[in-house]
Structure 1
Amino acid sequence: MQEVRRPEEGTITDEAIEKLKGRIGIERPRLEPPFEFACVDALRNYARGIGDINPFYRDPEYARSTRVGKFVAHPTFMLYMGVSDKKELSEEDVRRSGGRGDPLAGVHAFYAGHDLEWFQYICEGDRLKVKGGLGNVEVKSSRMGGRAVHETHELVFWNQRGELVGVSRQLLIRVERSAARSRGRYMNLDVPHRYTPEELARIEADYEREYIRGSEPRFWEDVEVGEEMVPLVKGPYTVTAYICYCEATGPRNAFHRAHSDAYRYRKEHPRAFPPNDYGFPDTVARVHWDREMARRAGLPETYDFGGERVAWMEHAVTNWMGDDGFLRRLQVRILGFCFVGDTTWIGGRVTRKWIEHGERFVELDLWADNQRGERTTTATAWVLLPSREAGPVKLPARVPDNISIFA
């Protein structure tokens, strides 16, 4: 049966794709990040919002007593900072972009992956500058909704001292909502999951077993290829957990707006606010808490935010590496959804270790499985560890060539 397209839903056309490709390499202004400064409250609340109890990210006094000597941010907090020097698009930018609006307005964007690199800590009091925009566009087929557009968005971050802090490469997959509904790939899932007392007891036991390396250094020489991490559990996932994440990351999404602010943004981007069941407009971001909107996107239930999943994978790595380690790179691939009611177990294994330009690297392969036995996420992490022979990790980390077209 052919799915009826709603008036507010967009289509993927050759013309729209060409307009999108015209935006590659054009710096986009970023003027109102959720956090302009890395203040104590913001850093601590971010850890709370992703469910991390590690004192290194929650207790400023503890953090200042470590070798680092400062209260520092979770690495993924970087994504919610950064003000650009560029204040507006030029007329040439607009011409090359095919206009100011999104060429794929009304086409759903699924958060599909993230490649992140870090070279320096984000410390209490830091203010980040950012430069970025669309890095690449590819057209592929999707099992979920037929023709799909893969967009890679790049951001490069510097601190107030001009030091390169990190690079972000986010993958979004754009799929027509009507096509996703017609395929109904996920609609036969029995969600939310109904847990037995025994299943809940297992989850709670795994929470009790959570291992935080903390102040005990994990020396590079002591790491063995093949050794496994203690699994980290997240869930059962609730809308409350999503709210905690939103509180921790601020209005990170352009569609998270209220009242007069939402009204004025909606005038410019009407397809971003389709009417709800009651007939008045509301943000497309409500797929994360409104089941009816999730079903419009071809899904049986509301689900987590992709950045939240990335933060979970990072949390597993920071638990493992301890206070003296430094997360140098994290490549996350989101393979499926974490629906409300799902529980996620994150595991990992050391796959290699090496020395490059004096830096002691360890590579971890990570995975995330749910209670149905589905693998929803995989990741690869590079960690710099202290050495018995060479001493502590030295920062800033070495920067490779060609990290971004915006660097």
Structure 2
Amino acid sequence: VSWDGTRHFAYGYGDDNPLWCERDYGKGTRWEGLIAPPAFIYTMGEPGVPPHDPETKALLKGDPLVGLGSYQAQMDIEWWRPLRIGDRLWKRSAIIGVKVKEKSEFSGRSVAETQGWLYYNQDQELVAIQRGTWIRAERHASAKKKKKYKLPEPYTDDYLKKIEAAYDAETRRGSQIRYFEDVEVGEELPTIVRGPLRTSDIIVWHLGWGMQLTPPGAFRLSYNVRKKVPGMYTPNELNVPDTVQRLHWEQDWAEKIGIARPYDYGGMRETFLTNILTNWMGDDGWLWKLSCQHRVFVYLGDTYWVKGRVTGKERTGAGNEVHLEVWVENQHGDRCTPGSAVVLLPGRDGPVKLPRPAQEGIDEMYAHEVERHR
């Protein structure tokens, strides 16, 4: 974790919260220093196990789904401790669920693949866990079975002014403590807007996100990856092999695989949901859990309206829990990403205590997760 890293990541999703964007602001908070935004774990995680030896690689025979389209469907995250300057993360990963669907509305045969990532720091402390589901589908089938989605249309000046007004109105709780006792069930979170989504926004998102590309590198490094995984590259309009990931920014390739327009990453919407929550809860709150589903494509040109409301509150062994419904909807009013969250807030009797994982040890928690999804 570095100041540059947290700032670049936050700027990539449109957040300038001083808790992770200013070097010294955090010294005056309960954290006593800069901390990373919750979704910063997306940029981190060195392998927690050594690479497979040649015999194991031969036995596993690689990814049987390589070359299939990958469409993010769901993400569940829990956070247990903050990331501070100098922290390093390792991660253990596993496929914890596979469901085959012979026929789907979107494509032909598809597979719902659920993966888990357990993150821990240099002190062997568990930091967070992610559980994500991707739909792996045959690209040629999805191209034949194009589903109808509402596409963005040119914006009127009045609608653009509405977006600008929402940007001007965005507020952040910051150092003003939001006490558990003051929260009311049914209250709405201040809406935030992100968009309309442009190719330049995708580029800036990538700058903060890190080397999350196929391939992880350019020119010679890209060529070296292509030699190993040629299926990850297809000819572009100039007959030059290029990453299949360009469906997020290249119109021609998106159309060829059955997508009407280039579209965003699920991680962007997940991060926007963390953004509305951190704006609302302030410096002294703790985002514990987030769960969401991606049900509608968000295309280049679409606008994200990020909203939420309080659905419940209770005092438990974990602390002062506030339960929230959160979601992303587009300019058509479609709920693209519905979700839920749990935030821990301080009470007038004391600050938030950080939540704990189901198991304290890395091996024990890893085994717990695998067994939980059998």
Please, what TM-score do these two structures have when normalized by structure 1?
0.86
Q: What is the match of residue 112 of structure 1?
A: 73
Partner of 1:399: 357
Instruction: Please provide the CA RMSD for this pair.
Output: 1.7
- Partner amino acid for 1:139? V
For 1:231 and 1:147, the matched residues in 2 are separated by 38
Paired with 2:213 and 2:371, the residues of 1 have a C-alpha distance of 22
Which string of whole-angstrom CA distances, capped at 9 and with x for unpartnered residues, describes residues 137-175 of structure 1? 111343211321011111111111111100011111111
Distance 1:256 1:194 in 2: 35
Indicate conservation of the 8 Å contact 1:156/1:406, yes or no: no
Equivalence for 2:83: 122
Structure-1 residue corresponding to 2:94: 133
Bigger CA drift: 327-336 or 53-62? 53-62
Q: How does 1:99-248 map to 2 (within 5 A)?
A: 99-100=61-62, 102-140=63-101, 141-186=103-148, 189-191=150-152, 193-248=153-208
Does the 8 A contact of 1:146 with 1:179 survive in 2? Answer: yes
Shift of 1:92: 6.2
Question: For 2:310, what is the secondary structure of its paired residue?
Answer: strand
Which string of whole-angstrom CA distances, capped at 9 and with x for unpartnered residues, describes residues 323-378 of structure 1? 00011011121111111110110110111111221511111101111111211111
Superposed CA offset, 1:120-139 (max 9, x none): 00111101121112121111
**Which residue of structure 1 lines up, in the alignment, with residue 4 of structure 2?**
41
Correspondence 1:343 to 2:306? no
Deviation at 1:60, TM superposition (A): 1.8
Aligned-partner Cα distance in 2 for 1:345–1:272: 33
Are residues 330 and 293 of structure 1, via their aligned partners in 2, closer, same or farther at CA, if it must alter by over 3 Å? same
Deviations for 1:241-270, whole angstroms, at most 9, x for unmatched residues?
111100001112343431111111111110
Q: Alpha-carbon deviation of 1:82?
A: 1.4
1:372 aligned residue: 332
8 Å CA contact retained: 2:322, 2:343 = yes
Alignment of 1:352-391 (within 5 A): 352-389=312-349, 391=350
When structure 1 is superposed on structure 2, of 114-123 and 102-111 the one drifting more is: 102-111
Distance (Å, rounded) in 1 between the aligned partners of 2:99 and 2:53: 25
1:154–1:406 Cα contact (<8 Å) kept: no
Question: Counterpart in 1 of 2:21?
Answer: 58
Per-residue deviation at 1:68?
1.2
AA aligned to 1:181 is: A
Q: Matches of 2:106 and 2:238 in 1, distance apart?
A: 28
Please tell me the residue identity of whatever aligns with 1:115.
D
Distance, in Å, in 2 between the alignment partners of 1:156 and 1:269 is: 27
In the alignment, structure 2 segments of 5+ residues that lack a partner are 360-364
The offset of 1:316, in angstroms, is: 1.0
Change beyond 3 A, Cα 1:115–1:105 = same
> 2:227 aligned with 1:270, yes or no?
no
Q: How far apart, in 2, do the equivalents of 1:289 and 1:252 lie? A: 14
- After TM superposition, the structure 1 stretch with the greater mean CA deviation from structure 2, 293-302 or 197-206, is 293-302
Task: Give the Cα–Cα distance (whole angstroms) in 2 for the partners of residues 399 and 42 of structure 1.
Answer: 26
| SS across alignment from 1:215 | coil
TM superposition shift of 1:95: 5.3
| Structure 2: distance between partners of 1:331 and 1:119 | 15
Whole-angstrom distance in 1 between the partners of 2:371 and 2:34? 29
Number of residue pairs the alignment of both structures matches: 364
Question: Aligned partners of 2:351 and 2:59: how far apart in 1?
Answer: 48
Once residues 200 and 358 of structure 1 are traced to their aligned partners in structure 2, the CA distance between those partners, rounded to angstroms, is 43
2-structure distance, mates of 1:173, 1:359: 36
Matched ranges for 1:256-267 at <5 A: 256-267=216-227
| Contact 2:214–2:232, Cα closer than 8 Å, also in 1 | no
Match of 2:235, SS state, is coil
For residue 201 of structure 1, report the CA deviation from its aligned partner. 0.5
The normalised TM-score by structure 2 is 0.93
Q: Which residue of 1 aligns with 2:362?
A: none
